[in-house]
Amino acid sequence: MISLRLLATLAVTLAIVLPNGAEAQLQPTLRTEIITEADNLRLGDFFEPAGEHATSVVAYAPQPGRRAVFDANWLARVAHRYGVEWRPSSRQDRTVVERLSTVVTSSDIANALQDELASHGYGEEYDLSLSNPQMQIHISPDLPATVYVIDLVVSPANDRVTAVVAAPAGDPHAKRYKVHGRIHAVVDVPVPGRAVRPGEVIREADLTWTKVRRNQLRDNFLSNPADLIGQTARIPLRAGQPVRKTEVHQPAMVKKGTNVSMIFQTASMVLSANGVAMASGVRDEVIPVRNNQSGLIVEAAIVGPGRVEARLAGRSATGGN
């Protein structure tokens, strides 16, 4: 037999689950995070379930790309107004709403301005920099990331650019933004297309071209590929970076420790001898050379591969005259 206490427990349970013979309503829960594409927020966005007023608009959504916070007091007022059986458990209860967006980047804006500048005579020989390179425009996620240039003014005195743009292009209701920047004259210069290690000879296949602002191109930068091809890197050369004159030199025409042919020439005679280079050098560079026959070390200028021309001054290998 079922005890009276068990029957009482079952009665209470049934009263909770099926009050007055109908299914009990679920206790509404709060959604703490909402991500939306819509302009408006409805009661059902905040509470689940929200009852018969679930589709009622209760707030505006934040602007595309923005977020908004609805605190416990606001949520309690809305729940009470629409008969939702929800109460905040603490003041910390809140709902954070984030509005999705299409992001128009500063690159999108710069490209649109660059096209407009080209129509004003500022073509590929000019580059544009924006005063705010982190600028972004957030628009509805169903719209394309296009930019329309409404107005553009270039000041020849200081090369400053002022423009008014709107996004997306072609939308008569698009919000307008003022943009500031500056144009820069640019030139094409040859640069290594890969990292070049010290001692490596630069080949034509190693070079590519890049645009450099004219005011940043110093006199000691090499702007002719002929001045780079066949040269040897003195220091590591970075890919895509202009090369200074002091960062390369001619390949060694004579290497230290190799045999060379020495020529000693006066007004009345020409003598030749074999020697050993005591240092590496390029054409016309003066290096010490040891005469294999006499042991003397003389100063000699490099005149060709493996060939040097001895000078009058000299010293012995042992330090004597």
pLDDT tens, per residue, the chain with 321 residues: 445 454 444 444 444 444 444 444 578 999 999 999 999 999 999 999 999 999 999 999 999 999 999 999 999 999 999 999 999 999 999 999 999 999 999 999 999 999 999 998 898 899 999 999 999 999 999 999 999 999 999 998 899 999 999 999 989 889 899 999 999 999 999 999 999 999 899 999 999 999 998 888 888 899 999 999 999 999 999 999 999 999 998 888 898 999 999 998 877 788 889 999 999 888 888 999 999 988 999 999 999 989 999 875 544 343 444
- Reduce the DSSP state of residue 41 to 3 states and report it: strand
- Up-side HSE of residue 281: CA atoms within 13 Å toward CB? 21
Put simply, whether the predicted model's pTM sits higher than 0.85 gets the answer no
- What is the side-by-side strand order in the sheet with 67-71? 33-36, 94-99, 67-71
| DSSP class per residue in 186-230 | EEEEEEESS-B-TTPBP-GGGEEEEEEEGGG--TTB---GGGTTT
Which residues 6+ apart lie within 8 Å of 61 measured at CB?
36, 38, 39, 40, 41, 68, 97, 99
